[in-house]
A and B are shown apart, each in its own frame.
Chain A
Amino acid sequence: MTKFVRMSLFALLILSLSVFIAACGNGNTEETDSENSDASGDTGSEEAGEVNLYTSRHYETDQALYDAFTEETGIEVNVVEGSGDELIERLNQEGESTEADLFITADAGNLHSASESELLQPVESEVLAENIPEKFRDVDNEWFGLTKRARVIVYDKERVDPSELSTYEALTEPEWEDRIAVRSSSNMYNISLLASLIELNGSEEAAKWAEGIVNNMAIEPQGGDRDQAKAVAAGQADVAIMNTYYIGGMLNSEDPEEVKVAESVGVFFPNQDTTGTHVNISGISMTKHAKNSDEAIQLMEYLSSEASQEEFAAANYEYPVNPAVEVTGLLESWGEFKEQDLNLSVLGENQQEAIRLFDQAGWK
């Protein structure tokens, strides 16, 4: 028995080590193979390179678009999926030696901080300039919006008449006491909303706004955006602040109860007569140390094209940034609305201040 144990343990050790080495070696040979074929191949395969992508968007449609891109151009798209903040940190730590050519993430604030950390490089492309409106591009062309989402007020159709609603600012009035549901201030969407208010109304007003909302909260901030809609449907709160596409997701949920919740609430685009509704983007950027920049630009342009933009919008109920693409279905039914007239870089610039104001206001 002892001998058997000893032998089996030893065998296991050898096996694990060899598998381990094989695994490391394997990844490497694949790389060298593709390099070799690049170098030795004829003109046909020379064109077909690869592009390495870090992304924090996790949608099947995104992968389908990359696949379609590969089919069209022959360029392989390699993907690492992670969270936006962590991918920025990874780029930061990797420095010059990074393998990533492109970085996709939600929230202009995230893109801005990547650009601040000098992780990105400007991209001059007529196609991108044409497809993407100026305010959804970085001033230095270091990042470009791909999709946009609006942060709106959602209300209970029975207890609230939309005529009572007007602006984000009006929610701090005493009449909304104990009636508002909104998630934690750790969430990027809230941070960016406050960052935009800092820009439009100044720090002092923004601080008052955060305090006013905290005073009017019906429940402690908890859960995600969908939970806020549920709190309204359950009667815990009368209005909630949340992103449009979550309502889209709930309306099309497999769970009939979620559909009922989404049907019981209305969507209101605030600040139509004043500063406009807060919009944010998810966007794409080229890393400073990109090794496959030609392929990277091709993919960026591909994703901003009308065909891709239609796919983006259809899959996740986000708005396309390309103005040539018309929205259909649910988004069309919500109608057109006035957006905040801000270059989204300011969301990143005011981010830290927004967090401080949240903490001072006691917004959990």
Chain B
Amino acid sequence: MRHGVRTIKSKFNIWAILSLIFIAIILIPNGLIAVNVFTESNENWQHIKEYLLKEYITNTVILISFTALFSMMIGVSLAWFVTMFEFPFRRFFKWALILPLAIPPYIGAYAYHGLINYTGIIQSKLRNDFDVTVNQDYFSIMNNQGAIFIFSIFLFPYVYTITKAFLQNQSSSIIENARLLGSSSFETFFRVILPISRAAIVGSVTLVVLEVLNDYGVANYFGIQTFSTAIFRTWYGMKDLDSALKLAGALMFLVIFILVLEKVSRGRRRFSFSTTKVRPIQPKKLKGVKAWLLAGYCFTVFGVAFLIPFTQLLYWAFLTFESVFSSEFIQLIYQSVFIASIASILIVIIALIIGNYTRLHKSLLTSLISRVTTLGYSIPGAAIAISIITIFVALDGYLADLYRTLQIEPVIILRTSLVMLVSAYIIRFLAIGYNAVDAGYEKMGNTFTEASRTLGFSTVKTFFKVDLPMMKPAIFGGFILVFIDVLKELPLTLFLQPFNFATLATQAYKYANDERVHEAALASILIIIVSGIFIFVSHKLLEKEPA
């Protein structure tokens, strides 16, 4: 009898209730989209099927497969080098390699196109000083390969950051044993590192894939027809929201398929420690050519993915500084940081709660819950925005009735406040926070929590006293990723912003949308600088902590 009560209690505790509430919040807007797949198709849908669908699917599949491959190769190799070896400038690269994430891919696309196109610095230098005119075909990035390049260099930090966080606090004994048993670094990597970090790698590559799936800016600018551009063409061009949502719904099923694939390829094996003596890995000192080769590799990636586009933007910002800059920018920075901080803190908290629930109660329900968190990340922001507006209009209606009955003044309208926008961010970016936190939980394992529970702490007390301190790197990592994402987020902000509200991202869009790319540079630079400061500070905070 007592036993029965305890099982029920342990299954329906505060974690479960909170998790289910958050999941419901995410499911409702996504559900609104999914339902559309099953509505009757109209003539536009026939048209899409006949003329467009094949090309959309082909291009989308090409983009996601190659971007996944390249970003994984870059991200994992960098994470491995930086954690395992000591080489020149390693401490700098450790955090600097996250920086490319701060450049929104579409701005990066503008920068690279601006750099190498006819009026760009390379061609105009060749033309004006050496009288060389080049074949434009070799100087174009406006094609599938170009898009893959842009996505890979600006999205690999997801893989890098999450894999690095995982490797960093790995027990050195695993690696040392491998070394003692005579494995070379190379062998260690393939036979030990890759298998144990599979979950982190697969999880982070999935984020990259989802990001590519919902990209609109790059594909539209380069003239590549993808699922995402198709949704907007149908919606805005044909004024057919139903068919557009149908496409979005189809995209969502594709995403669910990918997520299942992810779950399967993460494997069943769990690697966590059974001792408390987890010493972090001591990087192996490299000397001579090898050390400089690694430094050179890191620098090349850093240069291509950050320095070059950043310098281009900086140059444009200087060109247009006088005409663009106003005191308004201080306000913009403040508003952007403010809303990004709130959203990221809330997301990390929610991710911690759901993550804690799902890892302690393994069941079909919980594994479903953990999949659902990722849904919002894959769908074009504008499609999420529609369902959110629908919900908030209804919500405001109910609230207005409630206030009227209770005769409370003033009537609070949620839609005109930032509540709506922040909710949208949560739905969209929970995947990022959750992925980071989940990888942290996975690395920590359940043994410590179980020990603490056995010794008489409650789940809540264990969470604060045992779990949280060990989770710190994962929490910080998740916070930073979400923060940067919100800071550069565009479609949701554009769609849901209240009156007289703007962020750095919407400011950059204003110009870029009108092909005034030079004028867009200043706001983009500020996004990068603010993100850079956050990356740097959180990195320093983490370094100080004894692991």
Binds A, one of B117-125, B156-164, B359-367: B117-125
Residues of chain B contacted by A235 (CB below 8 angstroms): 133, 136
Q: Is the CB of A6 within 8 A of B497?
A: no
Q: Which residue of A lies closest to B468 (CB)?
A: A5
Across the interface, do B233 and A20 meet the contact criterion of CB distance under 8 Å?
no
A146 to B124, CA, bound (A): 38
A148 within 8 A of B: no
Q: A27 to B382, Cβ gap below 8 A?
A: no
Please tell me if the beta carbons of B502 and A254 are within 8 angstroms of each other in the complex. no
> Which residue of B has the minimal Cβ distance to A3?
B465
- Size bracket, chain A contacts: 35 or more
Query: What distance in Å separates the Cβ of A236 from its nearest Cβ neighbour in chain B?
Result: 5
A residues less than 8 Å from B235 (CB atoms): 85, 89
**Do the beta carbons of A94 and B393 come within 8 Å of each other?**
yes
Q: Do the beta carbons of B499 and A52 come within 8 Å of each other?
A: yes
**In the docked arrangement, what's the CA distance between A20 and B419, Å?**
8
**Hey, which chain A residues are within 8 Å of B221, CB to CB?**
222-224
Contact with B along A74-118 (1 / 0, CB 8 A): 000011111101100110011101010000000000000100100
The CA of A271 and the CA of B387, in the complex, are separated in Å by: 45
Q: Which of B270-307 contact A (CB under 8 A)?
A: none
Contact A12 B416 (CB under 8 A): no
A186–B233 CB distance below 8 A: yes
Q: Is B345 an interface residue (CB 8 A)?
A: yes
Q: Is A261 on the interface with B (CB-CB < 8 A)?
A: yes
Whether the Cβ atoms of A222 and B237 lie closer than 8 Å is no
- Which A residues touch B223, using CB under 8 A? 183-184, 220-223, 364
Is A79 in contact with B237, judged by CB distance below 8 angstroms?
no
- Known contacts A183-B223, A220-B223, A222-B142; A89/B241 CB under 8 A: yes
Docked pose: A253 CA to B511 CA in angstroms: 13
Q: Please state if A58 and B513 are interface contacts (CB–CB under 8 Å).
A: yes
Given known pairs A19-B342, A80-B497, A221-B223, the reply for A86 and B382 (CB within 8 Å) is: yes
Asked if residues B119 and A186 are in contact (CB atoms below 8 Å), the reply is: no
Give the chain B neighbours of A227 by CB distance below 8 A: 117
Q: How far is the CB of B482 from chain A (nearest CB, A)?
A: 13
Main secondary structure of the interface of A (DSSP, over half): helix
Q: Please give me the residue from chain B that is nearest to A221 by CB atom.
A: B223
Considering the complex, which residues of chain B in the window 214-264 have a beta carbon less than 8 Å from any beta carbon of chain A? 220-223, 225, 229, 232-233, 235-241
Q: Which residues of B contact A94 (CB under 8 A)?
A: 389, 393, 415
Is B31 interfacial (CB 8 A cutoff)?
Answer: no
Chain B residues lying within 8 Å of A352, measured Cβ to Cβ, are 44, 237-240
Query: A361's closest neighbor in chain B, by CB?
Result: B51
B510 neighbours in A (Cβ, 8 Å)? 58, 81
**Chain A residues whose C-beta falls within 8 Å of the C-beta of B238 in the assembled complex:** 352, 355
Give the Cβ gap from A312 to chain B, nearest Cβ, in Å.
14
Taking the complex as formed, is A328 at the interface, i.e. its CB lies under 8 A from any CB of chain B? Answer: no
Which positions 397-417 of chain B face chain A at CB distance < 8 Å? 397, 410, 412-417
- A5 contacts which of B342, B382, B469, B500 (Cβ < 8 Å)? B469
Q: Quick one: which of B44, B124, B143, B390 contacts A93, CB cutoff 8 A?
A: B390
- A47 on interface, CB distance cutoff 8 Å: no
Chain B 416-433 interface 0/1 with A at a Cβ cutoff of 8 Å (1 = within): 111100100000000000
Shortest CB-to-CB span from A151 to chain B, Å, is 15
Q: List 5 A-B contacts (CB under 8 A).
A: A28-B417, A99-B416, A220-B143, A233-B118, A355-B237
Given A28-B416, A356-B47, 6 other A-B residues pairs in contact with their CB atoms under 8 A: A6-B464, A28-B413, A58-B513, A99-B415, A116-B239, A184-B223
What is the interface of chain B, defined by CB distance below 8 A to chain A?
44, 47, 51-52, 113, 117-120, 124, 133, 136, 140, 142-143, 220-223, 225, 229, 232-233, 235-241, 319-320, 323, 338, 341-342, 345-346, 349, 382, 385-386, 389-390, 393, 396-397, 410, 412-419, 422, 464-465, 468-469, 472, 491, 494-495, 497-502, 506, 510-511, 513-516, 518
Residues of A with Cβ closer than 8 Å to B? 1-2, 5-6, 9, 12-13, 16, 19-20, 23-24, 27-28, 31-32, 52, 58, 78-83, 85-86, 89-90, 93-95, 97, 99, 113, 116, 183-184, 186, 191, 219-227, 230-231, 233-236, 246, 249, 253-255, 257-258, 260-261, 351-352, 355-356, 359-360, 364
